Chains A and B, each alone.
Chain A
């Protein structure tokens, strides 16, 4: 039994947490690929790791660096650079990716947001072996969990990390036993869906849609107090653009035209959608949340 030497491609909160977790193990970190001067880069330097710019994974010559460093396994944790074939093939125990979504159904970018947007009842996190295709390869481990009515993209993302990091640590423990590779479950290509950088509906609310769809879109964009990769969904009032930051179902039917502000109180604005009212509790203006009563008046129509 020998603790493996790993190379990390790490970004975001998940990458930071993995680096901190590995600091308490016998696992040797040969180095970290990260965005120069970003949080993962800075933490890696603080922990005494060698660092390389994240895009080096696209360079076939980096495979020689990995062999020279004696890297047994490459671990990609929320880095979005597509790795070239020689780099993926260099580590003898394999290259693995922690993906914040259930695979193969939610391949690509921003899976927590897409899951909420689609009104899914469950989400998941997947650790898989990497191939030359994005978010493809045999599954090491996948954990699914229920989505609650209060969940936002931020809370789903956080749960993916909380459940996913122990998977990575278990993988490292497996590799340390001398196993050539963990047992992999094949992905069903027929179930694969890929989501790219495009924000649905061009980031704009269509008030004609059902209330549930409106609320799901708002939750899908909600990383408050952190910036959302999708921004907040936008709407217009008298030619001025504003964003909806927080909304929930009110379960009140309406025959008011879609987009109309039917009522306002301290809890928010009741806005008509295609089939019912939604309660908009917060708008986003200039990066800050504010109550609708400060901006809207009953009878106005959002479009």
Chain B
């Protein structure tokens, strides 16, 4: 993921996330709006693994204390969270 002025759309991030869940975490997610927590897909260890993968893939730092269950409930919401973090990283972004 290149840094700079390129802004990734939330839908693109959701697609990338679906790939990470399927190929790297070996977790089946039926759709981007499926409830990952109620469905038991995202457990404690998977969350830590996911954060490490996202930090590497998107070149971000994601402190665990900044995560809220509401941000993690679906792939769509995780994508929204990441999109906000990526935009905040853009030159000139107001944080």
Contact = CB atoms under 8 A, between A and B. Distances in A.
Interface stretch (B1-9, B39-47, B74-82): B39-47
Contact of B44 (A13, A42, A289): A13
| Category for how many chain B residues contact A | 10 to 19
B48 interface: yes
A224 B67 contact: yes
Contacts of A154: 44, 48, 64
6 contacts: A13-B43, A154-B48, A157-B44, A162-B49, A223-B44, A226-B44
A59 B20 CA distance: 42
Interface string B17-43: 000000000110000000000001001
Contacts of B45: 13-14, 17, 157-158, 161-162
What does DSSP make chain B's interface, helix, strand, loop or mixed? helix
B54 to A, nearest CB: 14
Interface in A235-286: 245-246, 281-282
Interface in B62-95: 64-65, 67-69, 72
Contacts of B44: 12-13, 154, 157-158, 223, 226
B64 A152 contact: yes
A282 B52 CA distance: 22
B87 to A, nearest CB: 20
A20 interface: yes
Interface of A: 12-14, 16-17, 20, 39, 42-43, 152, 154-155, 157-158, 161-162, 223-226, 245-246, 281-282, 288-289
A13 B67 contact: no
A289 B65 CA distance: 8
Contact of A225 (B26, B40, B67): B67
A37 B69 CA distance: 22
A225 B69 contact: yes
Given A20-B26, A158-B49, A225 B43 contact: no
Given A162-B49, A225-B69, A16 B64 contact: no
B65 A39 contact: no
A77 to B, nearest CB: 12
Contacts of B69: 225
B65 A282 contact: yes
Given A12-B43, A16-B43, A39-B40, A155 B48 contact: yes
A226 B49 CA distance: 14
Given A223-B44, A246-B65, 18 more contacts: A13-B44, A14-B45, A16-B40, A20-B26, A20-B27, A42-B40, A154-B48, A154-B64, A155-B64, A157-B44, A158-B48, A161-B45, A224-B64, A225-B68, A225-B69, A225-B72, A281-B65, A289-B65
Contacts of A162: 45, 49
Contacts of B46: 13, 17
A149 to B, nearest CB: 13
